[in-house]
Each structure stands twice: as C-alpha cells, then as structure tokens.
Chains A and B, each alone.
Chain A
Amino acid sequence: MSGATPKSPRVLAISSGGGHWVQLLRLRPAFEGCRVTYASVRRSQASSVPGHRFHTFPDATRWSKVGLVRMAVKVAWIVVRERPDVVISTGAAPGYFAIRLARLLGARTIWLDSVANVRELSMTGRAVGKHAHLWLTQWPELARPEGPHYHGSVL
C-alpha cells in the first residue's frame, strides 16, 4: 500500500475493461502514497491490484441506453460511497459518469484520453474533457492551449 496514511488523498481510479484498464494500471506509480480504490467491469481484475479496494460496475456500450443507465447508477453509488478527493479515468463511459458526479461533490478530476485516439479525441473525451480539472491527451498533435494537454503517454 506504499505508505498511505489516513491523511493521504483518496483516489478513485476507474475505467472500462480491456485497453482502458491496461492504461490505468500503467499509471500506478502516480498513486503511490495515496489511498487508491479501483473500479472496473470484472471481479477478476482485482487480482491486478492486490491490497486495494476494488468495485465492479456493469459494462455497457454507448448503443445500450438501459446498460448505460445501470452503469451510471452503480458508478454513482461507488463515487458516493468512496467520496474520493481525486478521480482519474482513462475511459470510457464510466469515467464520464464518475468525473461529472465527483466534481459536483467537490473532488478534483483527471481525464486521460486513450492512447488509441491518435488522430482525434474520443467522443467521450470531447464531452467530459472540459469538466475535468486535468484534461490530458497522449498525442502532442492533439494538445490545445485550453486543453487537452500533453505530458507524455502510457507507452
């Protein structure tokens, strides 16, 4: 748990499965000394983050309205329950929900657009970026003065 104390920042690191999750895991050194809770779609992913709290939410694609509502409800429950100081997401829809709600509750928020978005930002990234306190892209060509900003990549 790398020296986290009761006064350490509470971080909620949340993403979909697959590539978003692999990218989130590659940021772990940035969370050292924090109390980190992870959230993603499958219980088995908890084995990648031993010693940390882990929540799951139902997966959904952008084409399933019912699925997205169920996801949003569970993500909201996780945010309210964890009351993070900082929320960080690498995508996609669950990060959107978590960042919008957590910000209303006073958290500081980070959106890292996926490294897969080489030529243009993700649709979710464009929608949530201006709501994130720190809005990052992983490709320098996509950086703009008003955000997203470029500070390196997961590669």
Chain B
Amino acid sequence: MIFVTVGAQMPFDRLVLAVDLWARGRGRHDVYAQIGDAGATPTHIAWTRFLEPPEFERRVRECHAIVAHAGMGSILTALEHEKPILVMPRRGALRETRNDHQVDTAERLAATGKVHVAMDEHALPHALDDLLAHPTAQRIGPHASHDLITAVRGFITKGNA
C-alpha cells in the first residue's frame, strides 16, 4: 500500500491530484490518501479527509511507501517507522501554506538522504516511479538528540540549560 498524506490542517490538491493521475496511468489500486478538509477529491485512489493520530500511525506502519507534503509530522513519523517517503513541498505563493518553509525542509532533509523529493507535480510521477524502484529509507530513534534532551532536562531540573 502507498499511503498519501497532506497533514491535518490544509488540503494540498496539487499533490493529491498528481498522485491520482499517476495511479490511474500505472493501473495502481493500492493507494490510500488522506486529503484534508475541503480539498478536491480524487477519482481513482481511495481517500479520507482526516485520520485520528492513532489511525494515522497505523497507516504509516502498514504501508510500503509514503507520499506526503513536506510537513515534519509526516516526515518524522515515516523516519520513526523506517518507511521510504517522497515529499512535495507546499508553496507560499500558491497559498498552500504561509511561506516556502517546506521547500527549505525538503531540500535540507533530501541532502542527508532522509527523504526523497519531488519539487512540484510535474516531477512527481517520475520521482514516485523512482521511489518504488529504489525504496530506500532511514530510521531515526524514538527520541530527540541526546544534547537536546540534556539541555531541556537540565533547564527543568536545575534551572539552567
């Protein structure tokens, strides 16, 4: 199963419709998408608007690959479960989010091999074919870096960072 997610807050039609078109062209019937409130509805792939967090995590655990907006909830959950993830960043200019921070996130995390990236809907079909042909994934542990845990813990218990 390929799991598509746009996060809980806003729709992301460019992503959902591009995956829908791809799935139809490839004859894939194993795609499930969480598309957000008020988004355009796909015609080929299965979809729901929202998933409660436990259900979201189950979908991630059971899928083979993830296609997502470049949001940290999707990315961190994928990495915690060592799932290959292809992200497409939302654009501020298209009012898909407030600015282009997802472009920065996608570029930075792709540079270290944590995510695969399609910068827009035109790049997505090829990137998705690539991802399925070479489904590489990194795993991260369940917790933040040791330094960050130590800094926060030190502040809480001793009053300094």
Q: Footprint of B on A, CB under 8 Å?
A: 9, 11, 17-23, 26-34, 42, 44-45, 47-48, 59, 61-62, 86, 88, 108, 110, 112, 114-120, 122-123, 133-134, 136, 138, 149, 151-155
Contacts and interface: CB of A to CB of B under 8 A. Distances in A.
B86 to A, nearest CB: 17
B146 A133 contact: no
Q: Is the interface of B mostly helix, strand, loop or mixed?
A: helix
Given A19-B73, A151-B148, A151-B161, A31 B156 contact: yes
Contacts of A110: 152, 155-156
Contacts of A9: 156-157
Contacts of A88: 152, 156
Which residue, of A33, A45, A88, A134, has the highest number of chain B Cβ atoms within 10 A? Answer: A134
Given A19-B76, A26-B76, A44-B54, A151 B98 contact: no
Interface string B129-159: 0000000000010111111111111011101
B71 A154 contact: no
B79 to A, nearest CB: 8
Nearest 6 pairs of A and B residues by beta carbon: A19-B72, A152-B147, A152-B145, A151-B151, A152-B148, A19-B73
B77 interface: yes
B142 A62 contact: no
Contacts of A62: 98
A113 to B, nearest CB: 11
A19 B71 contact: yes
Interface of B: 7-9, 52-54, 71-77, 79, 98, 101-102, 104-105, 108, 114, 140, 142-153, 155-157, 159, 161
B48 to A, nearest CB: 15
Most buried by B among A19, A28, A59, A123: A19
Given A18-B8, A19-B76, A30 B105 contact: no
A153 B145 contact: yes
Nearest to A43: B52
Contacts of B79: 155
A11 B145 contact: no
Given A21-B73, A151-B151, 10 more contacts: A22-B73, A31-B153, A115-B105, A118-B105, A123-B98, A133-B155, A134-B152, A151-B150, A151-B161, A153-B145
Contacts of B144: 23, 26-27, 30, 152-155
